[in-house]
Structure 1
Amino acid sequence: MGELSKKIGEHGERVVLKFVEKLGWTSPSDGESLICNKSLKHQRTKDTPRTTHGIDLFYSYKSQLEDFTVNNLLISVKYTSNPYPTPPNSKFKQHLKDIAETVECFARSDLRNETNKEYESFGIRRSSDTGVLFWLSSDRESEQDIVSKVSSVILDKELEFSNIQIIDNARASFIYNSISSVERIFSESDIKFHYAFSSSNYTDQNISKFGSVLPVEYLTSPILPMRIIDQNNDKQKFCISSIESYNESAMKRLLNFASDISQDFSNEFVFLFTKYDEEQNGASVKKCIRTLGEKSSNIKVFVHSSVNDFRGLINE
């Protein structure tokens, strides 16, 4: 049983490694170990103080959404061949506690200090430490959206962390399908992630408007904004992939959003929904475009369905 568990764990880490590379998180370090600074608080067995925390994958990058900030990502992989447990609360709290304690000790670690120093030449003034928990199952028949099932779980008050992102099967599939579908449909174009501008990232002159690294903040967003750049003439299309199935309300909302923020670089919009059928929904799309009034004559709209499966990454 122990050997089987080890193989399943290694399989999961390979899947997640390929997944994060698709996000532009290239060459993350693996097998990092931290000294535990709260050995009694973090002990797993009574009277056995904890000495270390393991990090499955570690990745850092200069934030494009916050001025002068480096993002340090501590990635934990929990992968099982079994269905998600019913109910999932107990196992979820166990996984969350493990990564939260790792993030807590990372704040005082040599790894954090060394990583932050590497970015000093970029004018970095602060760092943001985020735990990323991949809780995935290879069982295709089990409940896939497990995060919604644990959203009301009461967490241990002693846990200390600023931000943890939870990625379950449903979320991993949405992100993977979004990127893979755009790459397939626009195979002769470069695909970049669009970086939103706000009051948090307008003074850093080295911040880009788009790039190959997915911001960690986008992991749990209901939409994924991308730019599709023609390799021959650099012409851009603005793409938004939605976690929703196609409906008129969502289409109108995304049309207005796209037309408002893309005026300076594109009038061609691509929308992806988890379910979309041209025969059934095509007339509805045209109706939504007409609601833009005069703007509708100056834009081009393409709508597609996103389909695929992140589990296939193990075979790539």
Structure 2
Amino acid sequence: MGELSKKIGEHGERVVRSFLDIIGWSGAQEGESLTCSEPDKHQRKKGTVRNTHGIDLFYSSKSQLQDYTLDNVIISVKYTSNAYPVNPRTIFKAHIKDLAQTVECFMCSELRADNNESYEMTGINSACDTGVLFWLTNDKSSDQDVISKVSSVQLDSELEFGAIHVVDNSKASFIYDSISYAKNRYKDSKVYFHYAFGSSNYNDPDIKKYGSILPVEYLTSNILPFRLVNNDSGKVKFCISCSENFSEESISRLISLASDVSLEFTTDFVFLFPDYDPLDHESIVKKAIRLLQEKSNNVEISVFSYENDFRGLINER
């Protein structure tokens, strides 16, 4: 039983490492061990002390959403061959507790100090330590969206951490399918993540407007923004993939967002939904385009399903 559990765990880490490569998080360190700074507080069993915390994967890069900030990402991989439990709250709380305690000890660890020091000459003056829980199952018939079932869970008040992002089958599929669809449909273009600009990343001159690394904040977003840059002409399309089902409200909201964000560099928009069907939805899209073109001329809009099957072969604008 222990051998099988180890095999499943190793398989899960390979799956997550491949996923990290897709989102630009290449070179993540694995198998790091931290000295526990709170051996009594972090004990697993009553009456025993905890000496160490294991980190499945550790990734670090300059933030593109926060000025002069280093993102340190502590990754926990929980992978199972079974379906998600019907009531996942207890297991979820245990997973979060374990990761939160690891993040707490990471904040005063040599690993953090050494890693931050390696960025000292880059202008970075602060670090953000974030936990990411990949809670995935190999069971394809399993309820894919487990996050919605645990969103109201009350965590232990003694836990100390800044932020933890949870990626389940549904969220991982959304990110993977969106990136794969964009790359397969637009083979003549480079697919980059678009980095939103605001008051938090306005002053740092080294922050880019787009790039190949997915910001950690995007992991649990319901939308993913891309720039599709043609290899020959350099022409740019602005693409937004949305995990919500298509509706008149959702397409209108995304068109408004896209026009606000991207009219300075393109008027060519692409929107992706999981369930877009031109037979049912094309008239809604045409209405939204007409309303936008009353404000802006020469706007091009395409809408597709990133989960398309053969029925999407006639997928139109």
Which of structures 1 and 2 has the larger relative contact order (alpha carbons within 8 angstroms, sep 6+)? 1
Residue equivalent to 2:251: 251
User: Aligned letter for 1:73?
Assistant: V
Residue equivalent to 1:97: 97
- Which residues of structure 1 form unaligned runs of 5+? 309-316
Provide the C-alpha distance between the structure 1 equivalents of 2:98 and 2:216, rounded to a whole number of angstroms: 20
For residues 222-270 of structure 1, the C-alpha deviation after alignment (integer angstroms, 9 at most, x for no partner) is: 1000000001111110000001111111001111110111011111000
Cα distance, 1:296 vs. partner?
5.1
- 1:292 is paired with a residue whose SS is helix
Conserved in 2, the CA contact under 8 Å of 1:272 and 1:306?
Answer: yes
For residues 86-123 of structure 1, the C-alpha deviation after alignment (integer angstroms, 9 at most, x for no partner) is: 21010000100000000000000001011111111111
Provide the C-alpha distance between the structure 2 equivalents of 1:59 and 1:135, rounded to a whole number of angstroms: 17
Provide the C-alpha distance between the structure 1 equivalents of 2:154 and 2:248, rounded to a whole number of angstroms: 36
Provide the C-alpha distance between the structure 2 equivalents of 1:265 and 1:2, rounded to a whole number of angstroms: 55
Q: TM-score, normalised by structure 2?
A: 0.95
User: Aligned letter for 1:243?
Assistant: S
- Which residues of structure 2 form unaligned runs of 5+? 309-317
Residue equivalent to 2:34: 34
Q: TM-score, normalised by structure 1?
A: 0.96
**Structure 1 consecutive aligned stretches of length 4 or more whose deviation exceeds 2 Å:** 293-297
Residue equivalent to 2:72: 72
User: Aligned letter for 2:49?
Assistant: P
For residues 263-288 of structure 1, the C-alpha deviation after alignment (integer angstroms, 9 at most, x for no partner) is: 11111000000111122211211111
Moved more, 278-287 or 61-70: 278-287
User: Aligned letter for 2:107?
Assistant: A
- 2:297 is paired with a residue whose SS is helix
For residues 144-171 of structure 1, the C-alpha deviation after alignment (integer angstroms, 9 at most, x for no partner) is: 1111101111111111101000001111
| Identity, % of aligned positions | 56
User: Aligned letter for 1:143?
Assistant: D
For residues 193-213 of structure 1, the C-alpha deviation after alignment (integer angstroms, 9 at most, x for no partner) is: 000010001111111000010
Conserved in 2, the CA contact under 8 Å of 1:239 and 1:269?
Answer: yes
Residue equivalent to 1:242: 242
Conserved in 1, the CA contact under 8 Å of 2:226 and 2:240?
Answer: yes
User: Aligned letter for 2:3?
Assistant: E
Provide the C-alpha distance between the structure 1 equivalents of 2:138 and 2:296, rounded to a whole number of angstroms: 44
Residue equivalent to 2:150: 150
Q: Over aligned residues, Cα RMSD in angstroms?
A: 1.0
Provide the C-alpha distance between the structure 2 equivalents of 1:100 and 1:16, rounded to a whole number of angstroms: 19
Cα distance, 1:297 vs. partner?
3.5
